[in-house]
Amino acid sequence: MELLDTLQSIEIDMGRRKVIDKGPRNIDLDILLYGHETVSNDRLIVPHKLMLEREFVLRPLCQLIPNEYHLTEGKGKTYFSHLQALPPSNPPPIAMIPMPAGLPPITPTKPSRNTLLMAVLNVTPDSFSDGGIHSSTDPTVLLETVKTYIDAGVSIIDVGGESTRPNAEPVTETEELSRVIPVIKLIRSLPEASKIAISIDTYRANVAEAAVNVGADIINDISAGLLDLEMLPTMARLQKTVMLSHTRGTPKTMNKLTHYPDGVLAGIQSELAERVQAAEQAGVRRWRIIADPGVGFAKTQDQNLTILRNLDQLRQAEQLEYMPWLVGVSRKGFVGRITGVKKADERTWGTAAAVTAAISGGADIVRVHDVKEMAQVTRMADAIFRPSL
């Protein structure tokens, strides 16, 4: 009963006043379960007697223990089975994914949400569109770029120290660290960047951890833990928001791995769901995971277009529902081939169309190079597809 007293004390301190039984309140703290114990008295019933009737209780509970059984029902139905048996909520519950640096949470089921801009900041000599522009040893251009990004309204700056474009040569871990760590420190030193999240674009666990230690907020792994078996346990231990992308093979082999027997959408659904499940089994909380369909990674041009036409279908896949989605189409090869623009840094118009399609399909975050221009594109697309209610 001491726990109950503590919870009720917190409710009082936060201003809870009971006006209507089962009505809305500014805070509600309940004890759903207490290990495998049952309690029944005039103040407390555990397990909570209404928990199996409430989607807003069962859905997050199923992210923790979906295959456990309710104590008073024996081994009849799991919590996940109870959740599936509930009628759909109208309106549906709003999922919330926490974001760092004072940013509001991502709400992927909220129709009027704003699309977040993720700015690409490559500190590489060989990235496909901006290699060699920024260097960790010469902060002048770097600072100018970062301040331009901030003025344009970005929410996330994605720092990468190794190109993962198709056929890219790998670099050593030491080289990658020498590129990204000074840049993250520099961004974090800027007062105007205090409310900007920094993501580290890496598939190496050691690089991810070193980046987090100097100020990175998000881990963006294009391989979803496939290229470094320590990545998922490291993500779990660091307890940061993570981005898991669908891909196959390595940058050297991905272009040969584009055969999807059941179609690219089914392939992404099943393979990305496997990576999400692996992350959860490693200890990464589902509400910390952002999914990425991996446009341009182990995909043909037609497959990339299929993703953009059917992103909403991916969002509604049972194994991936209620998750936010990151989509990166900026300056990619298929955009250049379709528009006839060979130089990657001149693909702004084609990128704008692809970004608009992604937002129409439900993207929560778009990863872009041309930040000023894409800020206008996202605002316009949001006004069309996500009007405020």
Cβ–Cβ < 8 Å for 24, 56? no
User: What size, in residues, is the chain?
Assistant: 389
Please list the helix, strand and coil fractions of the chain in percent, rounded to the nearest 5, in that order.
40, 15, 45
| 156-160: strand order across its sheet | 289-292, 241-245, 218-221, 197-201, 156-160, 116-122, 365-368, 326-328
Catalytic residues: 332, 367
Q: What is the DSSP letter of 169?
A: P
Contact present, 369 and 328 (Cβ < 8 Å)? no
Residues 160, 119: contact at Cβ < 8 Å?
Answer: no
Q: Which residues does residue 291 pair with via DSSP β-bridges, in sequence order?
A: 244, 325
The answer to whether 116 touches 326, Cβ cutoff 8 Å, is no
Distance separating alpha carbons of residues 35 and 71, to the nearest angstrom: 10
